[in-house]
Chain A
Amino acid sequence: DGGITQSPKYLFRKEGQNVTLSCEQNLNHDAMYWYRQDPGQGLRLIYYSQIVNDFQKGDIAEGYSVSREKKESFPLTVTSAQKNPTAFYLCASGVTYEQYFGPGTRLTVT
């Protein structure tokens, strides 16, 4: 999982602004995922992509958008339509079965 990077580690934004979180992997994994984690909560799937130029909505996709133009990259945009965007965002990548997580980005919107 050392080959999955997320930047920045901490991100602060004002309400009403869109913000894009970066996720890059050099593990040659086909699949990539975005999860949201709130304090004391589990992992909720936002979007996932099994192949370049294709992605599927997860359980809480509203207010988020993604793109998968390159195998190595899966950026997540948190739009102003997301009502409660403050959270810990985790990107993951994997092959067939296993998923490995990046270090996460803690987003605070005020």
Chain B
Amino acid sequence: GENVEQHPSTLSVQEGDSAVIKCTYSDSASNYFPWYKQELGKRPQLIIDIRSNVGEKKDQRIAVTLNKTAKHFSLHITETQPEDSAVYFCAERGSTLGRLYFGRGTQLTVWP
């Protein structure tokens, strides 16, 4: 529902390192958890999502994990590249049908 907390707000990593962004939520009815990437001046783009019936999903260098008991989910980016630099938003779809609740975003900077 309304409370989606995202941490950290900024994250700097060296190229090749891993990056992890974590979100927590409070609505036990939440069943869908997408992640969006927004480059400067561009639209947010859906990069990966997970539904409540699975615990982990991978797509090449990115993965999302979900812990429904603890009510948190995380985005993992491995072998980071400078082009991964962007703002990442988590979101969740809870008991209010039809809408998503977004976290406040994480500015990821990958240094070459």
Please report A residues at the B interface, Cβ cutoff 8 Å.
1, 31, 33, 41-43, 45, 48, 50, 56, 58, 90, 97-104
Contacts and interface: CB of A to CB of B under 8 A. Distances in A.
Contacts of B89: 42-43
A58 B98 CA distance: 11
A68 B39 CA distance: 30
Interface of B: 32, 34, 36, 42-46, 49, 51, 89, 93, 97-100, 102-105
A37 to B, nearest CB: 9
A100 B100 CA distance: 12
Nearest to A42: B104
14 contacts: A41-B104, A41-B105, A42-B102, A42-B104, A43-B89, A48-B99, A50-B98, A97-B32, A97-B51, A99-B34, A100-B46, A101-B43, A102-B43, A104-B43
B49 A42 contact: no
B26 to A, nearest CB: 16
Q: Of A41, A97, A102, which is in contact with the most chain B CB atoms at under 10 Å from its CB? A: A97
B99 A58 contact: yes
B45 A1 contact: yes
Contacts, number: 46
Given A48-B99, A104-B43, A97 B104 contact: no
B49 A101 contact: no
A88 B79 CA distance: 32
Given A90-B43, A98-B49, A43 B102 contact: yes
Contact of A33 (B93, B99, B104): B99
Contacts of B93: 97
Contact of A48 (B36, B42, B98): B98
A100 B49 CA distance: 13
A31 B97 CA distance: 11
Contacts of A100: 46
